[in-house]
Structure formats: C-alpha cells, structure tokens
Chain A
Amino acid sequence: MATATEIPFTRAGVEGGVPALMLAEYATPGEVLHAAEKVRDAGFTRWDVHTPFPVHGMDKAMGLQDSRLGWIVAAAALTGFAAAVSLITYANVIAYPFVVGGKPPLSIPAYAPVVFELTVLFSAFGAVFGMLGMNKLPRHHHPVFESDRFRAATDDRFFLSVECADPKYDEQRTRALLAETHAAHIEIVEDNEP
C-alpha cells in the first residue's frame, strides 16, 4: 500500500488563495468507486466524485439517497394539466362559446390532445429546470476549475474531491486516507476566500 509521500502531490489554483479542496485522481472507474466507499465510511459529508460518465454503483458507493426529481416533475405535470383544462374551458366555454360541428362548447373528448400536450410540455420543463435547480447549475465558477489536471475529468480521468470546509477535513489525515485508495495523484486546490 502506497504511503502519502510516495504519491505525486501538488498545489494548484489561485495565487495567494486559501485551500478549498483536496483532489485525488484515478485512472479507472473501479479505483474511484472503491475510494468513494472509503471516504463515505470515514464519515465525510462535503465531498464529491467527478467522472466523465455516470459510473454504475457510484450512488451506493457515495451513500446518496435516491433522486427526488420525480416529485418536481409530478408537480409540473399537474400544473400543466390544470393550466390546459383552464385555458380551454375559459376560451371555448366562458369567453367565446361557439358551436362548431354540432359539438357543445364544453366537449371533454376534444380536450384530450391539448391537455396531453401541455401536461407533457410542463413536465419536460419541470424535469430540465428541476434538474438544473437541484444541481445548482449553471455555476461557472467552482474551485475544481482552478486545477489544470481537472480538465481530464471530462475526458478519461476520475476524480474525488474533499472540501476543506468538511468538518472531518485535516490536511495530513485526509491526504493519508486518499493515499490508501490507489490515487494516481493528489492535489490541493486553492481558491480566493469565498
């Protein structure tokens, strides 16, 4: 097992900044998955894994709860449904009742297509904007972007980041913990004070 001093270690980031996070780099999804299990079991709370694609089993390895996005979409779907019913009823029953093709102004079967379409439309908005909202995106500034090595996180490298603000964080001990996980490289990223 490699010790902390044998693994390449660098500091990167804004000059004169304060340490923001510790970044461990891995070559394979398997290594970062096992590293995530260790960090999870060590009780860290403010940490993350960065991968070029979603790694199967990582949610469990990080101890994450199931995504709650479905509830946002359900609420959006109901809103879309209600909006469509109200729109059609207002337009064709209240504001401008007009008999076309012998059908009465309040003709429920004719509601189906537009109600369906607007329910889908609102749900899709709920899914996309709900996802961005839960992920707090767009966010164009983040300490990880101060690391040049991190550019490979969208190519073929796998990263684990522990925030220095985590209550369990201790530079020496966290570095030793990450060193035990077959990290290929460890880096401290510095950023301006928040």
Chain B
Amino acid sequence: MSYSAPIQDIGEKHLVVPGTTFRRITEGVSRVTENPAPRGWWILFLTALTFLGVLGGAIGYLFFRGVGVWGNNSPVGWAWDITNFVWWVGIGHAGTLISAVLFLFRQKWRTSINRFAEAMTIFAVICALLFPGIHVGRVWHAYYMFPLPNSMEIWPNFKSPLLWDVFAVGTYFTVSTLFWYVGLIPDLATLRDRSINRVRRLAYGFLSLGWRGSNRHWQNYERAYMILAALSTPLVLSVHSVVSFDFATSVEPGWHTTIFPPYFVAGAVFSGFAMVMTLLLVARQVFKLNDLVTITHIELMNKIILATGSIVGYAYAMEMFIAWYSGNQYERYAFLNRAFGPYAWAYWTMISCNVICPQLFWSKKLRTNIPLSFVVSIFVNIGMWFERFVIIVTSLHRDFIPSSWGYFHPTPVDIATYLGSLGLFFTLFLLFIRWVPMIAMAELKSVLPEADAHHGQAHHDDHAEAPAHAQEAK
C-alpha cells in the first residue's frame, strides 16, 4: 500500500528529531502511562473533577426544576445550550481532519499528533451530545429522538434537520470511536508486552485483542484504516453541514443563508486546531515530548489555523455582502443589528479573536513562537464560542415585531453548565493521557528513516514477485 511508502520515497525529511530510535519512541510514550503521575497532572485532574461535579449539580438542578432555570426565554429560545453544542462539535472536527484528511493527503507529520487529536474529538463530541440531550426539557422522553416502535404509533419526522443531527452526530461519534480504537490496537499491545504487573497485563491484553504484529494482520489492518479514513472525510464534512442545516433551513433572517455549511465546516476545523494546539502545548511541556512533537508540527498547525481563520473571515464578509445585495430589509437589518446593535460587543470580540488575531501567523517568527501560539489558540477558542453565540442569539433576540424584542441574560446555571462541560472534557482527557498511549507509537515508528527496509542503501528494486518455481524448495 502506498501509504506505507518510506518517507524518503515521498520526498519527506525527518519528521522527528534525527537519531530517534524505535526504542526511544516506545519508551518516551509508554512511560507516561507507567510512571506515577506528576504533581501537575494531579492538580489539573482534581480541578477538572471539581468542575465535573459542578456539571453534575447543574444538570441535577435542571432536571429537578426544568429548562426555566436557564436564561432561554422568548424570543431567545436557543441560547448557551445550542451555542455550547455547536462549539463542542466544531472542536471535535480537527481531530477527524488530522486523522483522516491529512492521512489521505499523505501528510505524515500528522503521526505525532493524530492520537491526541482523535481523543479530543471523541471527548468533545461527548460534551456536545450532552447539550441537546438536556435541552429537550423532559429528558425522560429523550428517546423520542430515535426511530423506535412505540405504543403511540408515531414516528420521528425524517424531514427535520434536528433529526438529521441525531443521525449525523451519533454516526460521527461511533465512527470516530471505532477509528480511534483501531489505531490503538497495536499500541495497546505494546503496553501489554511492557506491563510489569498482572492487572495491566490483563487489561491491556484484553483491549489489544491478542494483537501479535502479524504481517498478514497488518495487511487487512492498513486497508481497514484507509477505508475508515476515506469514510471519515466526507462524514466530517457532513456533520457540521448538518449542524448548520439546523439554522440554514429555517426561515429566520441571519440563519437562512446558503454559505452556512462550508462556513461552519471551516470554523469547526479552525476551532478544533486551536484546541489541539492548546492541549498539545501543555502536554508536550508536562510530559517532555519535545523531540516527538517538534516546532515544525506547531508551525504547520499554525498555518492551518491561519488558512481556516481567513476562510472564516471571508465568510463573515460575504454574509454582510449578501445581506446588502439581497435587498431584503429583514436580512439587512439582521446583519446591521449583529454588528452595531446591542450585541456589537460580542460581534467585535468574535472578529478580533477569529479574523485579526490569526493574521499574526503570516510571520514565520511568530508562528514558531510557542507562548504566542498558546495565547492565540486560547483567543481562537474564545472567538469561536462567540461566533456561535452571535449567530444564535443576535438572530433571535429581535423578532419581526418590536414588541417581542428582548435581550438574553445567562443565569448562574447556564454558566455552571458550560464550565462543567469543560470539566467533563478535561477529566476524560486527563484520564486518556494517563492510561492510553497519547502518541501513535506504531505509526510514528513507521515514519522513521530506519523503518525503510532499504535504509542506508542505494534504492534498488530487485524484489521480484514470488517466482513460479518458488514452490520448489531450494
């Protein structure tokens, strides 16, 4: 399979620090799960766990009292809950982009960060799935979303984008998890073979399914991995497109635009890369993985942040242009109100964080600056949250009749639920870092120059197919 072509053959140079050996990769990555956790990990974990507790309290209170504990009220029926949903789904998208799209484009530098990004995808989608689930009000009826036979003889409406969302996000979560797990099998086998106690050997042994590195297995495995990448690529584009249909198919000025699907996908990739950057810079520092995740990786990711940030900026400008060009007074008003109305502060926060701030990365010096990359990644995360808030709330808060205009105020429960979802995300992420190899070892080994069967020799091609007389023993 051409994907496994040695890096020399596809014109790549060293992807990790020269001199890195197979053993160094095994050691460097496995020891994070084997050594006692550093103090920093415990501090972060206990903090995250506290916020997870806040989430539990906020949701419990919500279930007890009802959706009225949130600030959502007519005319703003969708507010922080759906903002958070779209934000979290979007963050997930970078993981799939790194693991699937960059795989298909033979961007081998992704091997240092793909495991990490895929884990982020799964945890972000878990946080995302939470919000529509708790927003339905009577959560004990959440199963109405699924096409299940029931005694009322009614079925879900398959023409509704909200139902498409159930299928799109559900499929996305399942396929991302499968993709991640398939990638993990060889690395779990490495942990199994290194384990010094019985519990680890049994746990990792069970999860690695008896993987023995057989080439007859690798052959089907690589094919499965490629097919999953090929499936995930249109899937990831479809998921945020379907999420944008929730808005775009409604007859609501500010939502009813055809640019939404590509604009949402670009924004998703943008915010996801920023989140990968935030997490990676911390993990790289705490676990000393500087020679596996190099400055080149960070620079390449910053280039993607710059590219997608500029696409998002273009989309903002195009929305404004189309609102004017449409000649529709409601459409024009919705956009003028967005930029200069009561939510102008949110709009210009969004523009500053998403459009202006990534432009710093045109300079090579700035995009290879680690503290600056960290700061920009945080700003982008904030900006993308505001983008969803701006789209949702500014389009709703001034209804067609001025008597039903309003202004949205979040309640403490809104804030606690949002912060709590960050707690859920980081709790899962920190557990992942501790118990699962956070860099894809088998894949990273295959991009070392030493992985080339002809490393150190002039390239030769005398490996004939099995000759016809091969059946005769020598």
Given A53-B442, A120-B175, do A140 and B205 touch, yes or no (CB 8 Å)?
yes
B432 an interface residue at 8 Å Cβ cutoff?
A: no
- Which candidate, A9-17, A86-94, A185-193, is the interface stretch facing chain B? A86-94
Residue of B nearest to A91 (CB): B155
A70 an interface residue at 8 Å Cβ cutoff?
A: yes
Taking a contact as CB atoms under 8 Å apart, the answer to whether B452 and A56 are in contact is yes
* Contact among A101, A151, A159 with B159 in the assembled complex (CB-CB below 8 Å): A101
* Contact among B190, B227, B242, B463 with A155 in the assembled complex (CB-CB below 8 Å): B190
CA distance A41 to B242 in the complex (A): 54
Instruction: Provide the residues of chain B in CB contact with A141, threshold 8 Å.
Output: 210
A82 an interface residue at 8 Å Cβ cutoff?
A: no
Residue of A nearest to B242 (CB): A113
Instruction: Provide the residues of chain A in CB contact with B245, threshold 8 Å.
Output: 113
CA distance A73 to B210 in the complex (A): 23
CA distance A56 to B446 in the complex (A): 9
Query: Interface residues of A, CB < 8 Å — how many?
Result: 79
Taking chain A's interface residues, is the majority helix, strand, or loop, or is none over half, making it mixed?
helix
Taking a contact as CB atoms under 8 Å apart, the answer to whether B446 and A43 are in contact is no
Instruction: Provide the residues of chain B in CB contact with A171, threshold 8 Å.
Output: none
CA distance A116 to B463 in the complex (A): 43
Query: What is the minimal beta-carbon distance from A128 to any residue of chain B, in angstroms?
Result: 5
Taking chain B's interface residues, is the majority helix, strand, or loop, or is none over half, making it mixed?
helix
* Contact among B160, B171, B192, B223 with A120 in the assembled complex (CB-CB below 8 Å): B171
* Contact among A52, A91, A114 with B190 in the assembled complex (CB-CB below 8 Å): A52
Given A70-B223, A138-B210, do A124 and B23 touch, yes or no (CB 8 Å)?
no
A168 an interface residue at 8 Å Cβ cutoff?
A: yes
The A130-163 residues at the B interface (CB cut-off 8 A) are: 130-132, 134-135, 137-142, 144-145, 150-156, 159
A58 an interface residue at 8 Å Cβ cutoff?
A: yes
Instruction: Provide the residues of chain A in CB contact with B186, threshold 8 Å.
Output: 52-53, 154
Taking a contact as CB atoms under 8 Å apart, the answer to whether A52 and B445 are in contact is yes
Interface residues on B, range: 35 or more
B212 an interface residue at 8 Å Cβ cutoff?
A: yes
The B347-383 residues at the A interface (CB cut-off 8 A) are: none
Taking a contact as CB atoms under 8 Å apart, the answer to whether B217 and A135 are in contact is yes
CA distance A131 to B155 in the complex (A): 35
In the complex, number of A-B residue pairs with CB atoms less than 8 Å apart: 239
Given A37-B463, A127-B227, A156-B26, do A51 and B218 touch, yes or no (CB 8 Å)?
yes
Taking a contact as CB atoms under 8 Å apart, the answer to whether B474 and A124 are in contact is no
Taking a contact as CB atoms under 8 Å apart, the answer to whether A42 and B474 are in contact is yes
Query: What is the minimal beta-carbon distance from B150 to any residue of chain A, in angstroms?
Result: 11
CA distance A28 to B454 in the complex (A): 10
Q: Write the A60-80 contact mask toward B (1 if CB under 8 angstroms, else 0).
A: 111110010110010000000
Query: What is the minimal beta-carbon distance from A19 to any residue of chain B, in angstroms?
Result: 18
Query: What is the minimal beta-carbon distance from A131 to any residue of chain B, in angstroms?
Result: 4
Taking a contact as CB atoms under 8 Å apart, the answer to whether A51 and B153 are in contact is no
Query: What is the minimal beta-carbon distance from A29 to any residue of chain B, in angstroms?
Result: 5
Taking a contact as CB atoms under 8 Å apart, the answer to whether A40 and B470 are in contact is yes
Instruction: Provide the residues of chain B in CB contact with A134, threshold 8 Å.
Output: 220
Taking a contact as CB atoms under 8 Å apart, the answer to whether A52 and B153 are in contact is no
Taking a contact as CB atoms under 8 Å apart, the answer to whether B234 and A120 are in contact is yes
Instruction: Provide the residues of chain A in CB contact with B143, threshold 8 Å.
Output: none
Residue of B nearest to A110 (CB): B159
Taking a contact as CB atoms under 8 Å apart, the answer to whether B453 and A124 are in contact is no
B450 an interface residue at 8 Å Cβ cutoff?
A: yes
- 14 A-B pairs besides A56-B4, A57-B453, A63-B470 with CB distance below 8 A are A41-B474, A50-B214, A54-B1, A54-B218, A56-B451, A58-B215, A67-B220, A96-B155, A98-B157, A110-B158, A114-B164, A117-B170, A127-B227, A156-B26
CB-based closest 4 A-B pairs: A156-B22, A131-B224, A138-B209, A91-B155
Can you list 11 residue pairs at the A/B interface with Cβ under 8 Å?
A28-B450, A29-B451, A41-B466, A62-B216, A88-B158, A116-B234, A135-B216, A150-B212, A153-B212, A154-B186, A155-B26
Interface residues of A (CB under 8 A from B): 28-30, 33, 36-37, 40-43, 48-64, 67, 69-70, 73, 87-88, 91-92, 95-96, 98, 100-101, 103, 107, 110-111, 113-114, 116-118, 120-121, 123-125, 127-128, 130-132, 134-135, 137-142, 144-145, 150-156, 159, 168, 177
